[in-house]
Structure 1
């Protein structure tokens, strides 16, 4: 089912506002992981919209270093009432460089790569064993797939027939030390997940309509978990850094932040 036009416009407006907030967080005293926060934002917006309409579903950002993107998405989705940008990275603030459960909408702390994937799978298994509806949605990075725990979880999820588990890969092609293709390539990724017993969808990770449709189509009655390989662009939405490896971690001043926000469409 294709999302209604008003829903599609709402999600697009949320994503635009969230990107502006992430730029504001890059202008905080410590800066933020800008590139990955911007690449994952559309995935977060669509996943949180699904979770907002299903109290049994939880979204886990396994690539926790993109916390700025998560806080922005939670705010524009109505889960965090206050604007997190002014307090980001400040002493005593819950809006730290990696998300923790003091933040509304964050069920599990993440940051050590690979750990959020089993958290979401465990949530899905608990819902299934208890006879309740609801899904576990894990959002991981492509560099994160170098963690063995991701694949151990994939094996368990398929064996337990967790049809209510969705693993989304934010495939922006970069990680801290350089291009993923130069460090640990991921050829035939869709076939890898299929070999583990997953259904697989390959999508444009910035197509909000397509993402929303995909999340809504996934039903609790399925027996196979779903892997979504979402191709994204690091730094998406900010022309000055879009597609640049240098956008991985950025610290800018307030004047630069305002310039970047004026350039966003």
Structure 2
């Protein structure tokens, strides 16, 4: 959906609230969903989709594809996906599967194997640059996903090709499938790592949806350096029973609990 006027801060916040309700509904579906990471990444996705809505060729790629429930919810509240995906999530014959694919409006690249969405977005940015066209390639990755070597190979290429229109956003919620990132493969001085690869780096609040939208809206025309946005987030954000808990990674709940949790969303 392309709109002439940018949404207000209040409108963006309301989108995030509605999207969190939808993710809880998907957790109450037949197969549950990756709840914690979907809730942590929602504000980032809504802000990035706001940039894409200007119609300048910006493409948003959810590299941490297991957070598909969050992507579907963000696409719906942003007006890209007309139908409500929550009742259809995980249902046979529906495109709303546990990892996103191009049968879903607003999804150009399938993602699931971690690390692969980052080069998709970088390739998109390179194609736009070679064609002399505008728009960004925005990849949204998890901090656990940075353990994939393909991410860093892509960073090296993006810097070498001076892809100033490539943006890598790290949803730094501190958790991954098997526990906490700090206990499995710590990544100290992450900003310095990206800087050493030749990136501009911004560290920010990953739940400040208006601030993120302003960051993504900034003109990067002529910038020779790709941008890494390290967004500090909380796994399960907005839902007190699961906030910050590693065991919120994948959750299946019943309709009664879903109704109770939706009343708690903040």
Whether 2:263 is the aligned partner of 1:262: answer: yes
The equivalent of 1:54 in structure 2 is 55
Whether 2:30 is the aligned partner of 1:29: answer: yes
The equivalent of 1:229 in structure 2 is 230
The equivalent of 1:82 in structure 2 is 83
Task: For 1:121 and 1:222, locate their aligned partners in 2 and report how far apart those are by CA, in whole Å.
Answer: 15
Task: For 2:116 and 2:226, locate their aligned partners in 1 and report how far apart those are by CA, in whole Å.
Answer: 18
Q: 5+ unaligned residues in a row in structure 1: which ranges? A: none
Please report how far the alpha carbon of residue 54 of structure 1 lies from its aligned counterpart in structure 2 after TM superposition: 2.8
Please report how far the alpha carbon of residue 5 of structure 1 lies from its aligned counterpart in structure 2 after TM superposition: 10
Please report how far the alpha carbon of residue 218 of structure 1 lies from its aligned counterpart in structure 2 after TM superposition: 4.0
After superposition, what is the alpha-carbon deviation per residue over 1:26-81, rounded to whole angstroms, capped at 9, x for unaligned?
Answer: 00010000000000000000000000113400000000000000000000000000
Task: For 1:94 and 1:165, locate their aligned partners in 2 and report how far apart those are by CA, in whole Å.
Answer: 28
**3-state SS, counterpart of residue 144 of structure 1:** helix
Map 1:163-178 onto structure 2 (within 5 A). Answer: 163-178=164-179
Structure 1 runs (4+) deviating above 2 angstroms are none
Task: For 2:133 and 2:30, locate their aligned partners in 1 and report how far apart those are by CA, in whole Å.
Answer: 44
**3-state SS, counterpart of residue 203 of structure 1:** strand
Do 1:135 and 1:220's aligned partners in 2 also have CA atoms closer than 8 Å?
A: no
The equivalent of 1:92 in structure 2 is 93
Whether 2:1 is the aligned partner of 1:19: answer: no
After superposition, what is the alpha-carbon deviation per residue over 1:123-180, rounded to whole angstroms, capped at 9, x for unaligned?
Answer: 0000000111111000000000000000000000000000000000000000000100
**3-state SS, counterpart of residue 40 of structure 2:** helix
Q: 5+ unaligned residues in a row in structure 2: which ranges? A: none
Task: For 1:178 and 1:24, locate their aligned partners in 2 and report how far apart those are by CA, in whole Å.
Answer: 24
The equivalent of 2:159 in structure 1 is 158
Task: For 1:254 and 1:220, locate their aligned partners in 2 and report how far apart those are by CA, in whole Å.
Answer: 48
**3-state SS, counterpart of residue 8 of structure 2:** helix
- The TM-score with structure 1 as length reference comes to 0.97
Do 1:135 and 1:164's aligned partners in 2 also have CA atoms closer than 8 Å?
A: yes
- The TM-score with structure 2 as length reference comes to 0.97
The equivalent of 2:129 in structure 1 is 128
**Cα RMSD, aligned residues only:** 1.1
**3-state SS, counterpart of residue 104 of structure 1:** coil
Task: For 1:50 and 1:201, locate their aligned partners in 2 and report how far apart those are by CA, in whole Å.
Answer: 17
Structure-2 change in CA distance of 1:71 and 1:6 (3 Å): closer
The equivalent of 1:109 in structure 2 is 110
